[in-house]
Chains A and B, each alone.
Chain A
Amino acid sequence: MRDGVTFREARAYLEGADRPVTDKRMTAAGAMSLVHDGDHIAVGGTLYSRTPMALLFELLRQRRRQLTLSRPLACYETELFLATGGADRIVSSWVGIGLQWGLAPIFRHYVETGAAEYEEWSHLAMGLRYKAGAMGVPFLPGLSMLGSDIARMTGLKTVTCPYTGERLAALPALLPDVALVHAHRADMFGNAQVDGYRHMDVDMARAARTVVVSAERVVTPEEIRAQPWATMLPHFAVDAVVEAPHGAYPHECYGLYEADVDHFDAYVRSIQEHGVDAARRYVEQHVDAHADFSSFLDSVGGGRLAACAAGAERLMAR
C-alpha cells in the first residue's frame, strides 16, 4: 500500500476550495488538462458498465504518464494505459476483459514482468476504502480480507473494537486525486444523475480532490430538479462537466445502450496475436487518429451504436 494524501489534508483542501455555482461545461480536452502526470485517477463504473470512456480516451490522447488507476473491477481500458505508459499502478479487486475472454494478456505481461504494480484488494475493501474517503474518516472497519494473502500483500491492518473486543479489518481511506464518472444527465453546474446502479461512483467522487463528470446529455437545471432522487452528485462535488453522448462506448450505459462485445472480440483477438504492439495500435487507430471522441464514434458508425441501443431497449421492455 502506497501512502497518498492523508484524510486531514483531503479535508483541508476541500475547506479551502471554492464552490462556485457557475457553468462548468468543458470539452473533454479541457477537463483532462486537470489531470497531472503521476496522479491517482479513480475510474467510475465497473468492468464494462458506465465506464467514462470519452474522458479516458482523451487522457490517452494527451499521453499522461505514470498514473495510478483505481477501479472496482477493471477492463481493457487498463491495458491501453499500461501499453502506452499512461499507468504503472493499478488498485482494484479484479483486472480482466470479461469472463468469456479469459485472462487479460497485456495486464499479465506488465504485472508478471514487474513493469507495473497491481495492488489487489477485495471488492468490498475497494468500496469501503472509497467510502472511508467519502465519509472523511481515515479508515472503516470490515469483516472480509481477514486471514487471506491479499491482506498480507496489501499490508492490511486490523483494529480491535473498543466495545466488544472483536478484531476487524481496518480498510484505509482511498483518496484519489481525480475521479472520472459517466452520468446519464448533468446540468451545467455539475448536478449529475444516473439511472440504474451506481457502482462505486458516488463514494469515489466524494473521496476525490477533483471530479469530472461526463454525461450523455447536458440538461437544464429544471430538468434535474424535476427528479432530484436520481441525482448522485450535487454541483458542489463536481468540478467539470463534459457532454459525451455514447460516452461509455464500447461499454454499456444502463437503459441506453449495451456493450459492443464485437469491439472487445476484435481487440482481444488482436492482442492475442500481436501482444503489446496490438494494444498500442488500438490506441493509434481509435484514439490518436481522431481529434475527439465523437470522431471515434463516427468511425464506429451509427449502425453499431444503434444495435447497442436496440439491445438495451429489449432488456428494458417488461
Chain B
Amino acid sequence: MSGATAEEVMAVTASRLLADHKVVFAGVGMPLLASALASRRQAPNLTIVLEGGIIGTRLLPGHLPISTNEMRAAYGAQMLTDITDIFLFAQRGYFDYGFLGAAQVDQYGNINTSVIGTVEHPRVRLPGSGGANDIISLCNEIFIVTQHEPRRFVPRVDFITSPGYLSGGDSRERAGLLFGRIGAVITDLALMDFEPGTRRMRLRGLQPGVTVAQVQDQTGFELVVADEVDELAPPSAAELSIYRTLRDGPPAVPPAAVVPA
C-alpha cells in the first residue's frame, strides 16, 4: 500500500518484531502504537505494560495517551500498580521486550536523551532519562525506534543516558549490566542489529526502495553491513488501516455508505 508515512513504516516494521504470549514494556507514542498494532495482528496475547504502573492496557482508538502515566494509558488495563513496582517487574526479568525512542543513538546503541553539548555547558538540556535508562538496563530484549538522520545517528553520543553496548565488546557486562540485549534498531530506512563480538551496529534489512548507500549516507558512522541484507515487506493495507484507526479513531462512515431510512 502506498502513501505510508515514515512514522507508519517504522511502527509497522517494529510491530512485526513482537511475538505472541510475550510482555512488552512500551514507551508512549510510536512504541505504544506499534505494540497495540502487534496485539491486533500476530500477537493477540501480547501484554502491553506502561511505566505509569499499567499492565495489560488495551487503549481506546482515537483517544491515545500523551503520557504513560495518565488515564488514557490505563484504558482496559488488567492491573494498576505503582511506577517503582513496574520497573521491579522488569528487573526481575518478566519483560521480554523494551521499546525506546532516541534523540541521539550511537554505533553501540547508546542513547542520549539528556544533553546536547556537555553537561557543564549544555547547548540543549533535554528532558532526561525518564524510564529509558531502566528499560534498556532491565528488559530482556530492547528495540530502538527512531527516524534515520545523521544528526541522530552519531559515532559517539554526547552523553550516555541509557547504556547500549557502551564501547562495544563486553563493556556492557563489565559495567555491571548483567542482563538485557539490544535486539534491533528500527528506522524509516532500515532494520539494524549489533554484530556479535564487536557489538557495532549492523545493517540487516532495508525498507522498500531504499539502498545500502542511502542508509550509510544518513548514518553518522560506518555501519557494518550483514552478508545478507533483506528487503523488508512494505506495510500492508490491513496493517495501515489498524494503525490509523488506533491513532485517529474509527474512520467516519462515508456519506455514500449511509442507507437512507
**Which A residues are within 8 Å of any B CB, using their own CB?**
46-49, 72-73, 92-96, 98-100, 103-104, 107-108, 111-112, 118, 120-125, 127-128, 130-131, 142-150, 153, 158, 166-169, 196-203, 252, 254-255, 258-259, 261, 312, 314-316, 318
Contacts and interface: CB of A to CB of B under 8 A. Distances in A.
Nearest to A110: B125
Given A46-B52, A49-B52, A128 B67 contact: no
B128 A111 contact: no
Nearest to B91: A143
A224 to B, nearest CB: 20
A5 B228 CA distance: 59
A97 B251 CA distance: 30
Given A103-B124, A123-B130, A315-B71, A144 B138 contact: yes
Interface stretch (B6-14, B81-89, B210-218, B235-243): B81-89
Contacts, number: 189
Interface of B is mostly: loop
Nearest to A146: B176
A122 B134 contact: yes
A206 to B, nearest CB: 12
A115 B116 CA distance: 18
Query: Which residue, of B71, B130, B163, has the highest number of chain A Cβ atoms within 10 A?
Result: B71
17 contacts: A47-B70, A49-B52, A49-B69, A93-B128, A99-B66, A120-B114, A123-B83, A127-B82, A128-B84, A144-B138, A146-B137, A146-B176, A147-B175, A150-B128, A166-B176, A254-B71, A254-B74
Given A112-B125, A150-B161, 13 more contacts: A72-B83, A93-B131, A108-B124, A111-B125, A121-B129, A122-B133, A124-B138, A143-B91, A144-B91, A168-B176, A199-B83, A201-B82, A261-B66
Contacts of A108: 124-125
Nearest to A202: B82
A196 B80 contact: yes
A57 B134 CA distance: 32
B53 interface: yes
B63 interface: yes
Contact of A124 (B123, B131, B176): B131
B192 to A, nearest CB: 21
B71 A255 contact: yes
Interface string B59-74: 0100100110111101
Contact of B134 (A92, A124, A153): A124
